[in-house]
Amino acid sequence: MTQTQTTTASQAALRYAELSKDLSLEQSDINEQQNSGIAVQAKFITPLDPVIETADGNRLPAVPLEEAYKINALKEKAEGASSGSETEIESDETHLLRKRDKESASQDRNLDISLPPLRTHPLFPPLPLYGPPTLLRNAQCLFFQITSFYLSTGFLLVIVLGAVFTSIPGIISKTWLWFTFRDPDKKRPFYKEEQRRAAVRAEEDAKWLRKARKLKKQKQADSRSTEPSPDPQTEYEPLEGGPDKLLCDSRYYARRVGLEMETFKVQAEDGFIIDLWHIYDPTEYTPKPSDRRKERGPDVFKNPLPRRNTSSKTRYPVLLIHGLLQSAGAYCCNDDDSLAFYLHKSGYDVWLGNNRCGFNPQHTLLKPSDPRMWAWNIRQMGVMDLPAFISRVLSETSCSKLGLVAHSQGTTETFVALAKQQRPDLGEKISVFCALAPAVYAGPLIGKMYFKFMRVISPAMFRIFFGIHAFIPLMMTMHRILPGRMYGLMGYLVFSFLFNWSDERWDRGLRDRAFQFAPVYVSSESMRWWLGRECFAKHKCVLSTREQHSQEDREDLNEELEEKRAKSEERDESQSRSRSRDKGRTAWYDERAPPMALWVAGSDDLVDGKRLLRRFRRGREPHVNLVHSKVIDEYEHLDVLWAMDSIEKVGKEVKEVIWKTMDKRDKERCRAVQGVSEGTDTG
């Protein structure tokens, strides 16, 4: 054999040591002495998602497949060297190819047809590999920080100016109406209801202030409180009140409707620490001490808590996942019409998952200044974060399944995670997946000029413009320093300009609250996945390439024509169907997929939910049980959460669908949900 085909075990040990150093947290001798952050081996969360395990039991984020296979191959040889074996063994390149072929053989080939060697699905190209801090790497990071600060600030300024200029005609029109003694808001869909709610809020605020002054006087007089009893028509007594302080604090808004909230720390399998919020009724639940709400290590679905022995029935757990650039506070900003509070008061145990980094980036080993902390995209959120959330909720509630509700990007990470090439076993932990404004196919908005700019520039140029850390962190700086109402107005104008939605159906008196919870820190790599030239913006789908779904469109069109021809010729339609190919061959999901329900916003320009619904209805996902689907023609992307009638059109149906799809044993063990009729059809 040639030298490139074989290597001795002792040489492999040296190469293993070098590669381990390149993949470790740091390269200093001090860390080696402390056995801290030293790369030991790669652990495959899925066959295409490796992370690095360190000697101290921690994890470092994903690495390219080549590096993962190589360190494991060299580790095997190094262990052979330590056992005294000096025999010639296959080279790590040969081992790498054999390992890859074995993994590829176990994969479904539908998503692997066009894969180049050692690459993930073409929609998920490899992330950049950043090694431990060195002088050169630190210099590169500084370069990207400087260029991205100026260039991304300029980009943001253009967006802000565009938002301001496009709003001028509307401002002029409203001003003219006021000068001519006409109310510009009178044409809003819920004008009278909006006024009624504003009056009720003002009355409740005044009542709370009077009550607070009375209690203060009583306290000063050292007399016993004689505060009035709660309104008999109100089950939950508010714990906070008065005029809205516009805080970035979901617990504050939970207290305003008589509920409480506690925060759990959850560790993902690649070492990220993410926030999980739990809503509870303080009259029936005692919050966990802080030491029981800490992270428990990277392993998921292991060592569940023992089932609680209680005479009373428990609440069925429901996990809510938010959308892009938002936090879970998006579910908590509309008082009792907030989906999170509504589901809790209906009888569910509601948990809110926040994506990695969020308002406070945390990792077991990495600091926010380390570019490795930002080397992730939608794939890691689905494959790592979602299982970590589900595992912790099931462990805390001692349940075997939960209901999952997601909006926008939250649906994307779920659809990605459940795919048969990713973590399909996750579907066995979910009783139903409720997708609100599902983000699987791109809408027409992807063709806007500012989005095209991100798609035109190369990946290298994208990193020069937007850096290799957080995406436009100046947005978070403005979030901290601007007054709540000013920031709420600017946030609405900018996001309305970017994503082409309006507040026509929202309660405008609460609009500023929503933008206290957005934006949050996201990685530039994540935004590059959404908008860069290689991934979603190019293929316009999260799980099919552009060529694949174009072919599916042609096949669907041919089938529709064949069906019409069969009807016109009075032939049996089943004959034309029997001649059509098996659509299931390109299915994304297998029999482990949970039941699914879709609520599609019909006027949504950001994503095309109707196309996803058509995919299900045309039989392309034979293993998916679509238990409920609804297109709300007048709704825009965020109306499924914030429209004044969203509880009526979405929330009540979500409540119903979750109950209908629960396992019979869970229905017997869990508390009954208010307002659910057993005979309702969810199909």
Catalytic positions? 408, 604, 637
Burial-class residue 566 by CB neighbours within 10 Å (0-12, 13-18, 19+).
middle
The answer to whether 18 and 394 have CB atoms below 8 angstroms apart is: no
Among residues 465, 467, 545, the alpha carbon closest in space to that of 125 is found at 545
**Strand pairing class (6-8; 88-90):** antiparallel
**Strand pairing class (273-280; 260-267):** antiparallel
**Strand pairing class (59-60; 402-407):** unpaired
- 163 token code pair: 């938002």
Angle at 228 between CA 224 and CA 234, to 5 degrees: 140
CA 609/CA 588 separation, integer angstroms:
16
* Element containing residue 271 per DSSP (H, E): none
**Strand pairing class (59-60; 49-54):** antiparallel
Question: How many CA atoms are closer than 13 Å to the CA of 618, on its beta-carbon side?
Answer: 23
Pseudo-torsion of CA 605, 608, 609, 614, nearest 10°? 140
Q: If you ran DSSP here, which 8-state letter would residue 229 be given?
A: P
Q: Calculate the alpha carbon distances from 151 to 156, 464, 471 in Å.
A: 9, 8, 12
- 236 token code pair: 């939950």
- 458 token code pair: 């190369």
Query: Helix 474-481 vs helix 484-499: angle between axes, to the nearest 10 degrees?
Result: 150
Burial-class residue 359 by CB neighbours within 10 Å (0-12, 13-18, 19+).
middle
Phi, psi of 51 (to 5 degrees): -130, 165
